Structure 1
């Protein structure tokens, strides 16, 4: 018969020696309550013996409560601004990287900036560090702006904004009444400037914009109606009547000025076509 694996003595083992460890919230709270309600003759040592708390631990709890207040009643971790290994890049270095006056290579790649400032990080590590500790900073495409606004145009824009700042173009009306006279707004005339531009573009490149204008200022005349021809299916009387109607419809001689600039074939092959031929060549 196999020997029994059970212990012959099943009595409860004696308690181990008291081990000093971080107490839970209940014991710490009981100590604070007993300490606050103690009499003048009662010492911290007697309170610690009653609650089975060591004297150094009790004094440490009291120091924590004086420093952090009610937070000391709960189980707390080690008080520190950051747990773990120290950062490879300090906060001052990050502020230097994003500063326009302190970083002269801000417009270069991450690798070039790391080499220039001798920072022990990889490209990916620098990107993560900037995102987490520098308010999401990263390399963005620079913004392009045109010519600065002159003082005269700036003043005109300010006056226009003050005049129409409360005008939104909306009106309160019931649905379906958009054609009522009191709900219609008169649109003003548009006084624009006509620009005539010539340019070329293809897969390999593009040419410059050229603003052209015909200095001859030629006049435009309407096309004259052609003289009717006699048909073999009509009589001489009918044909004579059509001739009289044609003469009556002819307009008197007058000069017509063009509404805008226009381009003639002569102007094109004398002024614009040579430039395109040179570009192709």
Structure 2
């Protein structure tokens, strides 16, 4: 028997802080226990692409994959020891939370310890989990929000003010949102830059999370080039999806060997910022290892709580 876990099950069983811990632990093992991650594969179709990604985490005793098409997403989680399906999990909520959690891990290791102000561009579901992750790893004092729709950004600021223990204010421009922020987050579907390097103050940490394909970008070249350290989930996936990095590499202005993987930061192989004035960047793409590590936590919680629906898969 296997478990089927719905979006509602996932939302009841875990939160963003749980996911930050789960991802930090699995990144701490990557490269030490045979962990593997297959970068996202896209099957082009007339309307949109079918997306497939897979990973294994021997330290957790699992392997699995995520498949998504449009707004429909599932993670299949397998036991390495028993060679059986443990769970089929609806993965839209899972994906939003794990994306926030990846930024949480990056921020824990890259942002200044005293970072307390956040500027976030974007007001969607991903923006919410980004802010929850920031609150899980830093003591926030204030948040500024910008989105193109005034009504939506005002509503989002009000919603997050009720969730976060700090001031949340909507701004009238992206520049006003970003300037002087300790942590800057881009969580958009933009095809042209929404964050410009000239806006960044010394000591800022940037999480760019919305663009995971060559047709999209959220940062201008200056924002990337000003960073003393550029990190990503996985270099191999970044080479095909991170347009901000790909364009600079092709122009000879960025060396892929200098792009740091999140696992190296967590394991202490590479130090984070060298000094408080450094600008640091996490280019988030979302990888299967994050999905299955979080899925394992969800599965374990479901088993303990008797949640989910048992399905016959043998």
- TM-score class, shorter-chain normalisation, is under 0.3
Larger strand share, 1 or 2: 2
Instruction: Provide the TM-score with structure 2 as the length reference.
Output: 0.15
